[in-house]
Amino acid sequence: MIIAVDGPTASGKGTIARALAAHYGLPHLDTGLLYRAVGRQVFLSEGNPDDAGAALAACAFPESLLADPELRSEETGGYASRVSVHPAVRAALLERQQAFANQPGGAVLDGRDIATVIAPHADAKLFVTASVSARAMRRWVEMKQLGKDVERAEIEADLEARDERDRNRAEAPLRQAAGTALLDTSNLTKEMAVATAIALVEKQLGEKA
């Protein structure tokens, strides 16, 4: 069974995807982490994330980089959004993601193009979203817990910029795929969001049975 979870930054898609993976006993891949690793590698190499060549070279990042706590920083998130617009970068990471999705038994993947590009054949598809203000508040709290001193208004502006890039990039733009269930988490607690997600997946599985 393959479950695709798409949505913008800080919508709660990662939390929901991890919960679905635990609920159904499936492996989970945060595909955004791969792009964050590429962005982080560009930064470490002192490259330009807007340069396609520099971004592609960064796709050869060492596996150990996936454990770098800086991958979760706002700065790295911005770099990830910028490197992800390059078709060559997306192509370089495509095979890795599809192999994970198509492994025996299935998997849960979250990102921005799972249902549209990586696994359009997924058995269940969710598009998780939330208002920019709700997402900014969540990310601000998360940054505070990590000891990062970031202004909430700054986070909100960054999220809006990322949304604009993700929705309007030429390659695999962020959009809700046909047949995907919409889940707005703006006013939901984590527990409510997870329960709703499980119900939506069960509904889709039931309709296909």
> Do residues 61 and 41 touch, judged by C-beta distance below 8 A?
yes
Is residue 8 annotated as involved in ligand binding? yes
Q: Phi/psi at 124 (nearest 5 deg)?
A: -140, 140
3-state secondary structure at position 24: helix
Which tokens hold the place of 58? 């960064």
Is residue 12 annotated as involved in ligand binding? yes
Cross-strand partners of 5: 110, 126
Instruction: Give the DSSP H/E element, type plus range, for residue 196.
Output: helix 190-208
Is residue 78 annotated as involved in ligand binding? no
Is residue 14 annotated as involved in ligand binding? yes
Is residue 189 annotated as involved in ligand binding? no
Is residue 13 annotated as involved in ligand binding? yes
Gap between the Cα atoms of 8 and 18, Å rounded: 16
Task: Quickly count: other Cβ atoms within 10 Å of residue 22's Cβ.
Answer: 12
* Beta strands 124-129; 181-184: pairing state: parallel
Gap between the Cα atoms of 177 and 1, Å rounded: 18
Is residue 9 annotated as involved in ligand binding? yes
Is residue 15 annotated as involved in ligand binding? yes
Q: Please list, residue by residue across 162-185, b when 16 or more beta carbons sit within 10 angstroms of its beta carbon and e when fewer do.
A: bbebbeebeebebebbeebbebbb
Feature table: binding site for ATP: 7-15
- Residues annotated in the binding site, as ranges? 7-15
